[in-house]
Amino acid sequence: MPALVLRCTARSDVGGRENNEDALFGSSRLVAVADGVGGAAGGEVASGLAIQALVALDKRRLEAPLEDELRQAVQAGNDTVGFVTAVRPELAGMATTLTAIALSDDGHYLIANIGDSRAYLLRAGRLQRLTRDGSLVQALVDRGALTEAQARLHPHRSVVLSALDGAADKEVALQQVQARVGDRLLLCSDGLSDVIEDAAIAIQLAEPDRERCAAALVEAALLAGGRDNISVLIADVSSGEDADPAWPPAL
Ligand code: CA
């Protein structure tokens, strides 16, 4: 089977905020978005640390199965948030969401999701959500106490139930989905998904040009009155020209 590769475009806009607390990363085999919260510079620091842990994974050879390495990278990001909080008390309480997808050599998406940033898959014109929000409103929707439309307007819609906050022994559940050439992935912070419905996201994602598509999504969120930071990462899946595995093992 030919190796699959990701071709990425990312955009982030400060929106109506003073700082941008979102962080993004994309390579040919790994994509991620993090949305930080916290006083002082805490939000930016937390999301940056979570993304740096994944960049570190992307820069080296695997010593264990990708699944284990991805889980460990997420845990390492969490542990660093804890360590930095301990040495810089002004950052106490900082935390971040993290949604990451690694493309495995056997053609799967390995998906890690903590908090309410999202991953979507556009396949053959149909949009599906790959992640489930770790948020209060999602829990209420699951229980039938709120509709999706009510959740979007709920005053506590930004309350997350899971985050990388430095707490010890963070459990990281991974999900696996078969990848296909022609797939398009969208990772985004809630600055997009809070103000743009899935049906509208699907329409925007039909634009083949990634740059234009990413710009249009951010623009749509701004026009919809988005007050939060808005971040999108679009990754198209194609077959790699060379036969090298995406994740060469350690020698
Ligand atoms: Ca946000």
Residue 53's pLDDT band (cuts 50, 70, 90): very high
What is the per-residue pLDDT across 112-126, written as a single tens digit (0 to 9) for each? 999 999 999 999 999
CA–centroid distance, 145 to ligand 1, in Å, is 23
Query: For position 182, what pLDDT does the model report?
Result: 97
Q: What are the φ and ψ backbone dihedral angles of 185, each rounded to 5 degrees?
A: -105, 145
Please, are residues 32 and 100 in contact by the beta-carbon 8 Å criterion? yes
CA–centroid distance, 191 to ligand 1, in Å, is 5
CA–centroid distance, 192 to ligand 1, in Å, is 9
Task: Tell me the mean pLDDT in the region 172-180.
Answer: 96
CA–centroid distance, 248 to ligand 1, in Å, is 35
Q: Which residue has the tokens 């509709």?
A: 147
Percent of the chain with pLDDT over 70: 98
Of the candidates 118, 125, 122, the one whose C-alpha atom is nearest the C-alpha of residue 101 is: 118
Query: For position 40, what pLDDT does the model report?
Result: 80
Q: Any residues with CB less than 8 A from the CB of 180 and at least 6 apart, and which?
A: 107, 123, 237
CA–centroid distance, 186 to ligand 1, in Å, is 16
CA–centroid distance, 28 to ligand 1, in Å, is 25
Decide: pTM greater than 0.75.
yes
Please, are residues 112 and 71 in contact by the beta-carbon 8 Å criterion? yes
Give the integer Cα–Cα distance in Å for 209 and 3.
23
